[in-house]
Amino acid sequence: MNNSAQNDKYVFNFNFDEYLDIETYKQRGGFSALESALKEEQDNVIKKIKQSGLKGRGGAAFPSGIKLEMVNRAEGAEKYIICNADEGEPGTFKDRFIMTHIPYQLLEGITIAAYAAGAEKGFLYIRHEYPKPRKRMEQAIKELEEAGYLGKNILGSNFSLELQIFSGAGSYLCGEETALLASIEGKKGRPQIKPPFPTQSGYKGFPTLIHNVETLTNIPKIIEKGPEWYTSLGTDDSHGTKLISLSGDVKNRGLYEVPFGTSFHEIIYEYGGGPLEGHTVKAVNIGGASGVLVPPDRLHVSLEYGTCAEEEITIGSGAVFVLDERRDILDNVHNRVRFFLHESCGKCTPCREGLRQANILLERFRNAEASYNDLEKLERYTRVMQDASFCGLGQAAGNSLKTSFHYYRDEYISKIRNEEPAEVIA
């Protein structure tokens, strides 16, 4: 990561090569936001977060302040907060870096959000494949409890927060909030029908605030420096900054904090240093495995929620994977289909059977045994998956397929056996 810990244009208070200890974090203003928040009414804290325009950074981009307010106003004898650190999206590693480099900023954000929501119990849901981040967070929680920043009567106030760590069992689906809740409750990690939403009926039926790691880590800076400072970053449509996990065929792979409004061309060529020497960009996967494939002439699009929605580009968790001219688009797409086929819970037919059939058809294309009718069927199955799947996994599984049909159709046709296209395809 390329920002200075003292730079006022950044939200994430660390350098790439350092792992903050609690004293250094405090010296840089850590916990001042928590001290301030605990002296204010919950409504005032929520108001500041709403004014900041902070949106969920896990992929859904739901306004964070509104979600806080919903839990705060929900009726329930108990309320819970859950930090979603499952981070199962391939190509994404931002939450891991937050937990290993600045765990105290994350925990401060969790505590402020819990106070604002009225939650005094919570979970940090960390994926099973993250043993080092889990160990780091266990240590940080213990330190904060000993220092009075977590646990009973935090900083002498009437507010308490009991925070536990829960390890997932390695399911991609548990990144979805209702599947995550089921997992914590000891059930199968499968998505549930909504409504009711977790803000109304979450963990054990109580109102529950579920936020992503990156989302919660924004909160201390919003409280410390004010919503006006936060809205000065980014654009009128999208406030603040976004963590980008940049990987693939690019010179400088890594984690970058970029202001909203930055183009994807800038992310790849200025932050990432461009493609590897002697090669050119062929395609860019934006948004992880559930994201889209775009050609180089689409990289002028800026990183903004509104603009990307208009251009049918999914920001998702902020993963950007660069493919140079040596990559085979069908290999890339097939790899994702196999991933989703493995991760599908099998609950609904469009996802379960759509992915199975897509896998079979892509095998035909890769073996140069496909027909034009196979291409039509693959497009049709993709539409059904996107339109009729029960949850986001099946709906998003077709994103790379759909965009590959549009931008890289020639690669499919080149693998069709020697035949003329049908005049009419039913």
Could you list the residue range(s) of the whole structural domain that residue 119 is in? 22-231
User: For position 43, which CATH number holds?
Assistant: 3.40.50.11540
Report pLDDT digits (tens) over 77-118: 999 999 999 998 999 999 999 999 999 999 999 999 999 999
188 and 159 fall within a common domain: yes
Q: Give per-residue pLDDT as tens, 9-19.
A: 899 966 778 89
pLDDT tens string 302-351: 999 999 999 999 999 999 999 999 999 999 999 999 999 999 988 899 99
| Residue 3 resides in a domain | no
d(CA 104, CA 163): 13
Same domain, 362 and 261: no
Residue 10, domain member (yes or no): no
CATH (domain of 381) = 1.20.1440.230
Looking at 180, 200, 231, the residue that finishes a domain is 231
Q: What share of the chain is helix, strand, coil (3-state, %, to 5)?
A: 45, 15, 40
16: tokens are 């790439």
219 & 306 share domain? no
Cis ω before 131 (30° cut-off from 0): no
The span from the CA of 222 to the CA of 220, in Å, is 5
pLDDT in tens, 388-415: 999 888 899 999 999 999 999 999 999 9
Percent of the chain's residues with pLDDT above 70 = 96
Residue 402 and residue 267: Cα distance in Å, rounded?
Answer: 24
Let me know whether 153 and 42 are in one domain.
Answer: yes
**Domain end call among 324, 356, 391:** 324
Q: Which of 255, 250, 339, 325 is nearest to 291 (CA)?
A: 339
Quote the mean pLDDT of the chain: 93
pLDDT on residue 194 = 87
- Say if 13 falls within a structural domain: no
Which of 326, 343, 354 is closest to 393 using CA atoms?
A: 343
Same domain, residue pair 48 and 145: yes
CATH number, domain with residue 262: 3.10.20.600
pLDDT band, very low/low/confident/very high, at 5 (cuts 50, 70, 90): very low
In which residue are the tokens 């006006």 written?
228
* Helix runs in 118-244, H state only: 131-147, 177-184, 213-225, 227-231
Verify that 245 and 374 share a domain, yes or no.
no
d(CA 186, CA 118): 25
